[in-house]
């Protein structure tokens, strides 16, 4: 029997099955760094799958643009909101968590690097800033506060952190970013174990290289051509290109799904065009 002769699958049945597996209807997600390139697309994917989403970011104009885009793409007027919040400021973060009401998904996409250079020339103020942005504001503190709340309220929530290739292997010259993203993977694993008895799952996604606001200047010139660093990244990526944000959405929806990933916790999923398996 050829593929052509086979009975076509019942589309309605397929859709029902996939919908049950991946629908986020009835759930609400907070997306930190929601005004950024990856955060916006991830929030949009969750909204398209039926979740209500609240985007947090320090940049209000970016938030407004992201919310407008998500509303347009999903055709939704309700359940897509934002709050301007500086996550480096604990009080602001606590107030945002209180104001968010009940939510069951926390996606920590706030983060990024600053500059690049030799270890012996690393500016320590920048080092501390990047560590604080990615480890405290972008991962640990939201997990701590939201985790406490979910444990008290018996919410079997889902946390997704954003790690990096540098969680696995250091990227040259970005010292605090390397240290911070290695910590994000480590904290994801530790929190997964501690929260598992409460039914809270903690996982991470490690994107390869995607053009975001925080790395655009490192990877591309003003005219859009690649910097030396950008060329090195593409040369090291077996797919020979940067990723497109949409290529992260399957991992987001999989990890959010209690049906598809209900027994999955503590993993860091690379979505990297083969970056981590590059060889010669």
Ligand X SMILES: NC(=O)c1ccc[n+]([C@@H]2O[C@H](COP(=O)([O-])OP(=O)(O)OC[C@H]3O[C@@H](n4cnc5c(N)ncnc54)[C@H](O)[C@@H]3O)[C@@H](O)[C@H]2O)c1
Is residue 37 a contact residue for ligand X (CB under 6 A)?
A: yes
Query: Parallel, antiparallel, or unpaired for β 80-84 and 52-57?
Result: parallel
Can you tell me the distance from the alpha carbon of 159 to that of 200, in angstroms, rounded to the nearest whole number? 8
Is residue 247 a contact residue for ligand X (CB under 6 A)?
A: no
In the set 44, 55, 104, 164, which binds ligand X (CB under 6 A)? 164
Can you tell me the distance from the alpha carbon of 6 to that of 14, in angstroms, rounded to the nearest whole number? 16
Of the candidates 17, 82, 177, 275, the residue annotated as catalytic is 177
Is residue 86 a contact residue for ligand X (CB under 6 A)?
A: yes
Is residue 142 a contact residue for ligand X (CB under 6 A)?
A: no
Residue among 159, 174, 162 nearest 126 (CA): 174
Residue among 143, 92, 172, 121 nearest 265 (CA): 143
> b or e along 108-128 (b: 16 or more beta carbons within 10 Å of the residue's beta carbon)?
bbbbbbbbeeeeeebeeeebe
Is residue 167 a contact residue for ligand X (CB under 6 A)?
A: no
- For residues 94-133, which are near ligand X according to CB under 6 A? 109-112, 133
Is residue 138 a contact residue for ligand X (CB under 6 A)?
A: yes
Whether residue 275 lies in the annotated active site: no
Is residue 88 a contact residue for ligand X (CB under 6 A)?
A: yes
In the set 29, 30, 38, 248, which binds ligand X (CB under 6 A)? 38
Give the distance from CA 137 to its chain's centroid.
14
Residue 63: C-alpha distances to residues 54, 70, 95, 117 (Å): 10, 10, 18, 31
Q: Using CB under 6 A, which of the segments 31-39, 44-52, 220-228, 254-262 binds ligand X?
A: 31-39
So which residues are the catalytic ones?
A: 177
**Interface residues with ligand X (CB under 6 A)?**
33, 35-39, 57-59, 62, 85-88, 109-112, 133, 137-138, 162, 164, 207, 209-210, 212-215
């Amino acid at each position: 029997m050829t593929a052509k002769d086979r009975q076509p699958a019942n589309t309605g049945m397929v859709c029902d099955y996939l919908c049950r597996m991946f629908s986020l209807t009835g759930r609400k997600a907070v997306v930190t760094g929601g005004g950024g390139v990856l955060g916006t697309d991830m929030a949009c994917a969750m909204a398209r799958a039926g979740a209500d989403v609240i985007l947090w970011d320090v940049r209000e104009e970016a938030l407004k643009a992201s919310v407008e885009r998500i509303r347009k793409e999903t055709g939704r007027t309700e359940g897509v909101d934002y709050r301007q919040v500086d996550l480096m400021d604990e009080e602001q973060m606590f107030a945002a968590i209180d104001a968010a009401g009940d939510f069951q998904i926390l996606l920590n996409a706030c983060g990024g690097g600053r500059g690049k250079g030799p270890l012996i020339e690393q500016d320590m103020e920048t080092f501390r800033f990047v560590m604080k942005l990615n480890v405290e504001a972008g991962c640990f503190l939201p997990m701590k506060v939201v985790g406490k709340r979910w444990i008290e309220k018996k919410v079997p929530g889902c946390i997704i952190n954003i790690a990096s290739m540098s969680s696995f292997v250091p990227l040259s010259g970005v010292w605090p970013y390397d240290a911070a993203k290695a910590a994000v993977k480590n904290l994801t694993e530790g929190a997964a174990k501690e929260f598992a008895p409460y039914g809270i799952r903690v996982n991470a996604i490690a994107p390869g290289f995607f053009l975001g606001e925080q790395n655009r200047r490192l990877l591309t010139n003003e005219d859009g051509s690649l910097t030396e660093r950008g060329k090195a990244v593409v040369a090291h990526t077996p797919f020979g290109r940067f990723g497109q944000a949409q290529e992260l959405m399957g991992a987001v929806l999989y990890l959010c799904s209690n049906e598809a990933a209900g027994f999955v916790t503590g993993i860091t999923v690379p979505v990297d065009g083969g970056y981590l398996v590059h060889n010669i």
